[in-house]
Structure 1
Amino acid sequence: MKAEMTAAVLYGKEDLRLERMAVPQAEAGELVVRVGAALTCGTDLKVYRRGYHAMMLKPPIPFGHELAGVVEEVGAGVTAFKVGDRVVALNSAPCDACFFCRHGQQNLCEDLLFNNGAYAEFIRIPARIVEKNTLLVPDGIPLEYAALTEPLACVVRGLEESGARAGDTMVVIGAGPIGLMFMHAAEIAGLDVIAVVKREHQVGAAKLFGASEVVLVDAAKDVVAATRALTNEGRGADIVIEAVATPTTWEWAVDMVRKGGLVNFFGGPPSGTKVKLDTNRLHYGDITLKASFHHTPATCRTAFELVTSGRFKCAEYITGRAGLDEVPAIFAGMMHRNNGWAKDIKTAVFPEGGPR
């Protein structure tokens, strides 16, 4: 009889269940990792709310994608890792052979391989991810810190794609986990950050993670005017990052950027969402609009270095800690904002009951 483990399985919209299932086994080129820490994520919450993700998963499926742990089993042919190694395994890996990969856009790989199932005692790491996107965690780096690599890699790519340079002024709309991560990564890169936040408790967090100025939406008569007033001569920001994913905030972003500036629509609204933009301002203002999706192996390694170097405030960013049995309640609370989990930036889930 195969050994069993506990795992969180998503069955549909707001339907997340803990189940007993067989512990995975490593095939050729694969690893089985004992999960040391998995992190809650805005993307996971979005999937929980909608019941699916068009690219990453279709229920029923093991849930969660940000993790680090210890190698439990090594498949045939794997030489880079051994049992007992502490690793962070990213949630995807590109093929490096398709049109997009050959054009330096591995995040758009036509055969992008995703992996889910972080909220579990064990997870199987597919061979391609083992080969291209699994990294050894140095001694002394908590596994929950290493698990921050995946979301930070997406943010790093967003900054790179936005042409961010030291001295630029950047507005970040939204102070959820990704918005705060953008603020901190931008501060580390030498940018001046202005945060636009919705809730009072987010003001302090925005300042902690690098915002020099904060606009509280409910306290401003005109959010766009209040934000532009904080920029040099009121001309608008060099870069605006939209990290909320609503039509209103997409429109704010375009109105907050300066002439010749760039807007990165980082937040992904539901399919079919429409926005209204001032085409005259876009054209005569020579404004660049772009969107960033996911990460690449290169930005994963840049993010990993930020985490392991100690430059990123990992301890301050992970504000909640829980056991695997609490995962369904965590997501229900985040969804309905009716418990303490809703105010945490990120919650670290420890399947074995404590940090390693």
Structure 2
Amino acid sequence: MQAAVLYGKEDLRLETVDRPKAGPEEIVVRVGAALTCGTDLKVYRRGYHAMMLKPPIPFGHELAGTVVEAGEGAKFKIGDRVVALNSAPCDQCYWCMKGQQNLCEDLLFNNGAYAEYIRIPARIVAKNTLPVPENVPFEYAALTEPLACVIRGLEESHAKLGDSMVVIGAGPIGLMFMHAADIAGVEVIAVVKRDDQIETAKVFGARHVVQIADGVDAIAEVRKLTPGNRGVDIAIEAVATPMAWEWAVDMVRKGGTVNFFGGPPSGTKVQLDTNRLHYGDITLKASFHHTPATSRTAFELIKSGRFKCGEYITGRAGLADVPEIFRKMMVRSAEGVKDIKTAVFPEGVSC
């Protein structure tokens, strides 16, 4: 079969590899659709991910498809339509017992979505693979994984109806935060960089948009949009830069919550005003990954039709296009290209 294999920094190759086989309680899925992702782009740029993968390794982790082989004892059968998440916890370690399954010391990851077929390990089959109804396109179902991370971020930030929230960044994750927060009745302020992101942020629920530009004090502009310039209830950082982390702290009100969702490279340092943190009673959070529970919450939202899945799919391509897609993703921001997610169809581009 054909699969995209990551060998290192900006070295992604389409190769012929053996088709996987299902062991006990495992399944093999014919990939119906896989989605590009900001995390995949980050890994492609850096050449590795300390927790999720080390090259050479099959690449990609957002997918949905059809079961073509089921091992003995598997909970799905041949022909079932499924969305398989990219990890599953052990539910036995200290962190799992504390209800922090995303921090599981034996968190099992799975990669290889950019391929004709993918094997789903038994633990992921049992704990984090969900049936997809016939009326939900595979490319919509594949949005479950990133949305599950966002749902957990919102839950950890204790977002509730009537809150105000700033989202710094209008990439795929930032836009998901805007949309999910808007659905939850949160008033969203978006901080964006490019001209094309202004309208996109509004499509996904931002009521106000602040554009970064020379001479614009983004912190002051955000605070102006809150009563008495007090700042927002919740600040979400979705850029993964030190400056954005510092902005988030300065945009939130006293007693508010900051969620550092974007993950900068290891060793990155930021400078924060300890006086403001202490006397402002500000809560700092950093949300990572998802859990089986937030995966189910995310998928229910997708199935409900309330989530604008179609708006996220801004490109469609075949499997052979994957290496070139990532090369183009490296420069798309500089060129101002409106591109959120590309759906990859191993069986050919669906019209």
Whether TM-score is above 0.5 comes out as: yes
Match of 1:123 in 2: 118
Determine which of 25, 48, 55 is the counterpart of 2:44. 48
Q: 2-side partners of 1:281 and 1:332: how far apart? A: 42
CA offsets, 1:155-183, max 9 Å, x none?
A: 00000000000000000000000000000
SS of the equivalent of 1:129 reads helix
- 1:228 maps to amino acid: R
Match of 1:267 in 2: 262
Q: 2-side partners of 1:341 and 1:279: how far apart? A: 37
SS of the equivalent of 1:355 reads coil
Q: How does 1:124-163 map to 2 (within 5 A)?
A: 124-163=119-158
Match of 1:15 in 2: 11
Say yes or no: does 1:38 pair with 2:47: no
Q: 2-side partners of 1:146 and 1:220: how far apart? A: 42
Determine which of 308, 311, 314 is the counterpart of 2:306. 311
Distance 1:338 1:284, change over 3 A: closer
Determine which of 163, 166, 170 is the counterpart of 1:168. 163
Contact 1:335 1:342 in 2 (8 A): no
Match of 1:93 in 2: 88
Determine which of 165, 170, 177 is the counterpart of 1:182. 177
CA offsets, 1:199-254, max 9 Å, x none?
A: 11100110000000000001652110011101122100000000000000000000
- 1:11 maps to amino acid: Y
CA offsets, 1:59-98, max 9 Å, x none?
A: 00000000000001000111x2110110000000000000
Q: 1-side partners of 2:216 and 2:298: how far apart? A: 37
Say yes or no: does 1:214 pair with 2:209: yes
Q: 2-side partners of 1:23 and 1:101: how far apart? A: 33
Contact 1:240 1:257 in 2 (8 A): yes
Distance 1:21 1:340, change over 3 A: farther
SS of the equivalent of 2:17 reads strand
Say yes or no: does 1:6 pair with 2:2: yes
The alpha-carbon deviation at position 343 of structure 1 amounts to: 2.7
SS of the equivalent of 2:82 reads strand
Match of 1:333 in 2: 328
Distance 1:305 1:340, change over 3 A: farther
Contact 1:142 1:355 in 2 (8 A): no
SS of the equivalent of 2:32 reads strand
Determine which of 219, 230, 238 is the counterpart of 1:235. 230
Q: 2-side partners of 1:259 and 1:236: how far apart? A: 8
Distance 1:16 1:215, change over 3 A: same
Contact 2:196 2:336 in 1 (8 A): no
How many residue pairs get matched? 351
The alpha-carbon deviation at position 355 of structure 1 amounts to: 3.5
SS of the equivalent of 2:213 reads helix
Distance 1:229 1:223, change over 3 A: same
The RMSD of aligned alpha carbons is 1.3
Unaligned runs of 5+ in 2: none
Match of 2:56 in 1: 60
Distance 1:338 1:234, change over 3 A: closer
Contact 1:168 1:239 in 2 (8 A): yes
SS of the equivalent of 2:43 reads helix
The alpha-carbon deviation at position 337 of structure 1 amounts to: 2.3
Identity %: 76
Distance 1:340 1:320, change over 3 A: farther
SS of the equivalent of 1:171 reads strand
Determine which of 58, 76, 82 is the counterpart of 1:81. 76
SS of the equivalent of 2:220 reads helix
Q: 2-side partners of 1:322 and 1:231: how far apart? A: 42
Contact 2:223 2:229 in 1 (8 A): yes
Contact 2:154 2:181 in 1 (8 A): yes
Contact 1:37 1:355 in 2 (8 A): no
**Structure 1: 4+ residue segments shifted above 4 A:** 338-342
Q: 2-side partners of 1:164 and 1:322: how far apart? A: 36
SS of the equivalent of 1:239 reads strand
Say yes or no: does 1:285 pair with 2:280: yes
Contact 1:86 1:138 in 2 (8 A): yes
Say yes or no: does 1:193 pair with 2:214: no
The alpha-carbon deviation at position 280 of structure 1 amounts to: 0.5
When normalised by structure 1's length, the TM-score is 0.97
Contact 1:341 1:347 in 2 (8 A): no
Contact 1:263 1:288 in 2 (8 A): yes
